[in-house]
A = this chain, B = another copy of it.
Amino acid sequence: MKLLFIGDIVGRAGRKMLQDQLGRIIDRQMIDLVIANGENAAAGYGLTVPVLRELFDAGVDVVTSGNHIWDKKEINDSLEREERLLRPANYPSGLPGRGDGVYETPGGVKVAVLNLEGRVFMKNLDCPFRMADELVDMLRQETPIVFVDFHAEATSEKQALGHYLDGRVSAVVGTHTHVQTADERILAGGTGYLTDVGMTGSQDAVIGNQKEPAIERFLTQLPVRLEVAKKDPQLCAVVLTIDEETGRCEAIERLQVCP
């Protein structure tokens, strides 16, 4: 089966790319399931209910997220009720939403999706490694196909989790840095790995935001307000070919689609 995972969709420019390109990618690549990280889809900060619906309408099957999912409180209801929306599993217990789910492709293949968040240079969450131990065991009782979106900053933490889960999940793909890395590979145990899939939004920008205020932030150290950029949008994604019987990754291919 073939799984498409799309990196952090940033604002309207990102959503537009999705709407324009996703259908074609699904058709050409014969994709069975589409997962996309939506933490920046609503003007760069979190998700709203209409924006979430836009993502589903564009063809996304499952939406993962990260640190920005909490930016807009109105999404908490959806986190509770919408099974196709995930937030990192390793937030403290008791928060709205869930971090994993099992979904079925049109062909009847079960795919587990697990969303985790890193801790290096980020928040004080529960250990993503230990949380993965627990949840991966549970998910593998339902299906051998387990996809992990590891939303993290540090390359070391991402590579460490990839190796840690190697042979236990189908793929570990990173998000959050908004820049696609070129280190896609299949690890020794059969797990597909990519440090970061990159973002979907304007590339004439600083990780999706307008250049001028972003530069001003660094120059002044002041809390300058950032705005989502629009020019030169790009969709960044990864296509994973996974053996349905074993859950092993057979191929991993990076995508960068421009209009």
Q: Hey, what's the 0/1 contact readout for A69-88 against B, CB within 8 Å counting as 1? A: 01100000000000000000
In the bound assembly, the distance between CA atoms of A180 and B185 in angstroms comes to 13
**Contact across chains for A218 and B155 when beta carbons are under 8 A apart:** no
Shortest CB-to-CB span from A60 to chain B, Å, is: 22
Number of copies: 4
Residue in A92, A124, A161, A215 with the greatest tally of chain B CB atoms within 10 Å: A124
A160→B215 contact, CB < 8 A = yes
Query: At the interface with chain B, which of A51-59, A100-108, A139-147, A206-214?
Result: A206-214
- Is A156 in contact with chain B by the CB < 8 A criterion? yes
Of B160, B180, B183, B221, which one neighbours A214 at CB under 8 angstroms?
A: B160
Chain A residues packing against B (C-beta within 8 Å): 70-71, 91-92, 94-95, 119-121, 123-127, 129-130, 153-157, 159-161, 163-164, 177-183, 185, 188, 195-196, 198, 203-207, 211, 214-215, 217-223, 254, 256
